[in-house]
Structure 1
Amino acid sequence: MPQRRKGNEAVALPGAGASHIDVLPDGVLHHILGFVDAREAVRTCILARRWRHLWKSATALRLFRTNLSGVPNFMQHLLLLRGCSPFDTFHLCFLDFEGKDVPHVNLWVRHALLCKVQELILSSTYLDFPLDDLPLVSQNLRSLELNSVILENSLCDFSGCPSLEHVNITFSALPSVKKITSKSVKRLTIRRSTFNEHQGFRTRIYAPNLVSLTLDDGGYQGGELCRTPVLDIMPKLQEAFVRLSQNNADCCSHADESGNCGEVDCDSCCGIGHDNSCLWEGLSEADNLKLIAESKTFVFKRDLKQCPTFSKLKTLFLNDYWCGA
């Protein structure tokens, strides 16, 4: 055993004779196990007697799969043995799924909320995953990231999550969502996602404490056009990025300089209207603003006619489209 001398006495070094990781306290090992896939974390139980139950208190639960074959059975045992042990992060990523997997995944999401999860990440790659049309309720959830999912109306009411500050939605469909609501969210990102096109309303975004907004339809290739949402006033907004692509349902390739083609039956120009501003009311309090339009966009033109005032604006970026606006 390695020793060091203190005066005339030999003193054993701490952790001598053991691997370096074994001298770490349990709390640190729980944190380390939270960075690996759940199956690998469970397999550490065979390393030594001390490791037999460490995985049950890992601070994160991560699953990365090509498909969900066999995962429900694994998760049933894992969650049963973990009990209600809290964890900070639940990250589930898969490429493909079957219809029978849907209720299982939705159940895992609800279980994670019961376990006081603070960061929830759900990512499907090839198919949009249908989430239950139920509101999220959690006093602990702080960050929500959803990729390639289908969101219904009730789930987009985040008022039951008073600690939620960050929401990131990408490559997703919001076919019947009338309102996205949160008084706590400070950063909202919606990229390459489709709002309703054929419904008789526009999705309203109500987030009065928002400081950062990214709204980027980015040429979504999901087969449906994106209908521009309505932004409520955001008095604390510091920075905003808005891009409407040529695939946006409010863009008309035949529009004139006014942004309207003059055809009364044109769905892009005269489809779903709104009495007040769609975008400018919500963006008018921004400090830094970036606007990109890839074609003549009716909602931009109509909003400008209301002569909005940007009293706090410090920096403004516009693409070439605005030169003729």
Structure 2
Amino acid sequence: METTDQYPVPKRVKYDKAENPAEGEDKISNLPDTLLHHILSFLPTKYAVRTCILSKRWKYIWTSVTSLDFDDGFYDTEPGKKRVRAKVANFMNFVDKVLIQNASSLEKFHLKCGSSCDLNRINTWICAAMTRKVQQLCLLISVKQSLKLPHCLFTSEYLVKLELVGNFVLNVPSSICLSSLIILYLEKVTFVDDISVEQLFSSCQVLEFLTIDDCRWDNVTTFDFSIPTLNCLTIYHCNSTGHKIRFNLPALTVLTYAAYAPEEFIVDDLSSLYEASIGVELSEDQYKIKSSMHGDCVHALLEGVAHVKILDLDGDTMETLSFAAEHPYMPTFPNLKRLGLGVCKNYGWGMLPCLLECSPGLEVLQFYEGLVHSDGQRKFNWDSPQSVPYCLLSHLKSIEISEFEGHDQEFEVIKFLVNNASILERLVVNFRERRVDVEGQVKIGEKEELKVAEKFLDLQKGSAHCRIVIGTSFGSIFIKGLKG
């Protein structure tokens, strides 16, 4: 059996064209080199290399592939085991050999490896990719110790997409230029200080998409997002407590924030924002205080995004808002067309009428987390307002409710909305997936769901044209008209 490095491959099978010309015809090998390179670019590099044994035609095809994808298979494996060390050694030798034999300019370089890999060799591989004018670089490195990136990575005029996942330290050099970078994804990396943040973002002259996930910025006082070209910003799971966050993003259209409450949100420019998804959670220490400062912080962000057309506020945000000093004050959302709301421990219901009143042009209202919290707390603070919000009388066309359980308090909310929504076209209600208690009994079965669904027949109409869709575990129920 022949081998290529540590990868065994079967012997070639020879076809007798005289016996069966059609079967022996190799149409793929007759394709142009550029097309074969494109085909191989979709394969992990170890499989692309194996094609060298197919025939003389294929022997060197892989050496000109412009996409390299290396994975040692031990990303989350503890180092030290003899079997792991041997396979990792083979993997590192394989990467070395491929980079020596493949001298093409690279479109993509993907590297995924665990802590058993030698860090110096990893930096050497990165530098080799940068030398080949790589356009898309993806590094997923699982190491406990901090990993500093080589300076050559920060001075590329060819890099279009950069993805860093691992314990990287962004010790950004003073001479940095990423003039072609459009997409930047950072996960578990550490920002050193305010200067490193400013230097990184100011060097990205055409950056459009930025994701920061579970990153550390302990020594950063103000995380300043000042990027004139940025179109989409996503912030996940970052511990931003004790820090200020500034948004100076005139071209931003989509903002997603799902992290702890910072010390302060500062909005300088979000004038192009179209859609915002806000999830501001309190850390354990913050929750012990429940300060009005946290609620006011969220209010400041909502004021900065008040001109959006699509807005999602999750349950954590609704809860944090409930601590605001000026509760239930809300900014006006003059352009808002779709509002998605969550609930958390049943806080924030007192703000629903205010949110509706502040959204005069609202057309779609969604409760994607349901109307009661899933931890079993059934009652929530809902009192029907004395006046009907303007959007119900003039604009609201669709109401969507997920995770429905059929409790009386839920119906109180639905009754108010449906009774007063004058031009409502559709009400969609989906039952929560049937849950089983500790004794193995289903808490709500098909008969109970059907009984609850029948209550919708008795709803007083606000709109004669509204169609109700009830999603149950046994199918959907359609109700075309509402009782007058």
**TM-score normalized with structure 1 length:** 0.72
Q: Residue 311 of structure 2 corresponds to which residue in structure 1?
A: 316
Which amino acid in structure 2 is aligned with residue 50 of structure 1? Answer: R
Q: Residue 191 of structure 1 corresponds to which residue in structure 2?
A: 213
Alpha-carbon separation, structure 2, partners of 1:128 and 1:286: 39
1:163: Cα distance to partner? Answer: 1.5
Is the Cα–Cα contact under 8 Å of residues 285 and 311 in structure 1 kept in the other structure? Answer: no
Q: 2:93 aligns with which of 61, 65, 73?
A: 73
Q: Residue 289 of structure 1 corresponds to which residue in structure 2?
A: 276
Q: Residue 202 of structure 1 corresponds to which residue in structure 2?
A: 222
1:242: Cα distance to partner? Answer: 0.9
Helix, strand or coil at the partner of 2:38:
helix
Q: Residue 350 of structure 2 corresponds to which residue in structure 1?
A: none
Question: 1:167 aligned to 2:187?
Answer: no
Question: 1:92 aligned to 2:117?
Answer: no
Alpha-carbon separation, structure 2, partners of 1:17 and 1:72: 38
Q: How does 1:118-129 map to 2 (within 5 A)?
A: 118-125=135-142, 127=144
Once the two structures are superposed, residues 194-219 of structure 1 have per-residue CA deviations (whole angstroms, 9 ceiling, x without a partner) of: 212xx36333333211110001126x
Question: 1:244 aligned to 2:259?
Answer: yes
Once the two structures are superposed, residues 72-103 of structure 1 have per-residue CA deviations (whole angstroms, 9 ceiling, x without a partner) of: 333332222223x11211000123335xx112
Q: 2:129 aligns with which of 92, 95, 112?
A: 112
Helix, strand or coil at the partner of 2:89:
coil
Which amino acid in structure 2 is aligned with residue 191 of structure 1? Answer: D
Alpha-carbon separation, structure 2, partners of 1:46 and 1:115: 26
**Unaligned residue ranges in structure 2 (runs of 5+):** 1-16, 75-87, 283-289, 325-484
After alignment, is 45-54 or 32-41 more displaced? 32-41
Is the Cα–Cα contact under 8 Å of residues 45 and 51 in structure 1 kept in the other structure? Answer: yes
Q: Residue 142 of structure 1 corresponds to which residue in structure 2?
A: 160
Q: 1:75 to 1:300 in 2, by over 3 A?
A: farther
Q: Residue 6 of structure 1 corresponds to which residue in structure 2?
A: none
Alpha-carbon separation, structure 2, partners of 1:226 and 1:148: 22
Is the Cα–Cα contact under 8 Å of residues 247 and 267 in structure 2 kept in the other structure? Answer: no
After alignment, is 233-242 or 199-208 more displaced? 199-208
Q: 1:172 to 1:282 in 2, by over 3 A?
A: farther
Alpha-carbon separation, structure 1, partners of 2:301 and 2:62: 59
User: How many correspondences in the alignment?
Assistant: 275
Q: Residue 8 of structure 1 corresponds to which residue in structure 2?
A: none
Question: 1:36 aligned to 2:43?
Answer: yes
Which amino acid in structure 1 is aligned with residue 246 of structure 2? Answer: L
Once the two structures are superposed, residues 33-73 of structure 1 have per-residue CA deviations (whole angstroms, 9 ceiling, x without a partner) of: 22222232222212111111101111200101134433333
Alpha-carbon separation, structure 2, partners of 1:216 and 1:243: 5
Alpha-carbon separation, structure 2, partners of 1:52 and 1:186: 40
Once the two structures are superposed, residues 128-185 of structure 1 have per-residue CA deviations (whole angstroms, 9 ceiling, x without a partner) of: 6613262522222111111123132316x89622111111112333344443312211
Which amino acid in structure 1 is aligned with residue 98 of structure 2? Answer: L
Q: 1:109 to 1:206 in 2, by over 3 A?
A: farther
1:28: Cα distance to partner? Answer: 1.5
Alpha-carbon separation, structure 1, partners of 2:259 and 2:298: 14
Is the Cα–Cα contact under 8 Å of residues 230 and 279 in structure 1 kept in the other structure? Answer: yes
Is the Cα–Cα contact under 8 Å of residues 228 and 251 in structure 2 kept in the other structure? Answer: yes
Which amino acid in structure 1 is aligned with residue 274 of structure 2? Answer: D
Which amino acid in structure 1 is aligned with residue 134 of structure 2? Answer: V
Which amino acid in structure 1 is aligned with residue 234 of structure 2? Answer: T
Alpha-carbon separation, structure 2, partners of 1:302 and 1:43: 57
Q: 1:281 to 1:165 in 2, by over 3 A?
A: same
Which amino acid in structure 2 is aligned with residue 33 of structure 1? Answer: L
Which amino acid in structure 2 is aligned with residue 139 of structure 1? Answer: E
Is the Cα–Cα contact under 8 Å of residues 214 and 242 in structure 1 kept in the other structure? Answer: yes
Is the Cα–Cα contact under 8 Å of residues 133 and 153 in structure 1 kept in the other structure? Answer: no
Alpha-carbon separation, structure 1, partners of 2:295 and 2:130: 39
Helix, strand or coil at the partner of 1:109:
helix
**Unaligned residue ranges in structure 1 (runs of 5+):** 3-12, 251-268, 270-276
Q: Residue 5 of structure 1 corresponds to which residue in structure 2?
A: none
**TM-score normalized with structure 2 length:** 0.50
Is the Cα–Cα contact under 8 Å of residues 202 and 227 in structure 1 kept in the other structure? Answer: no
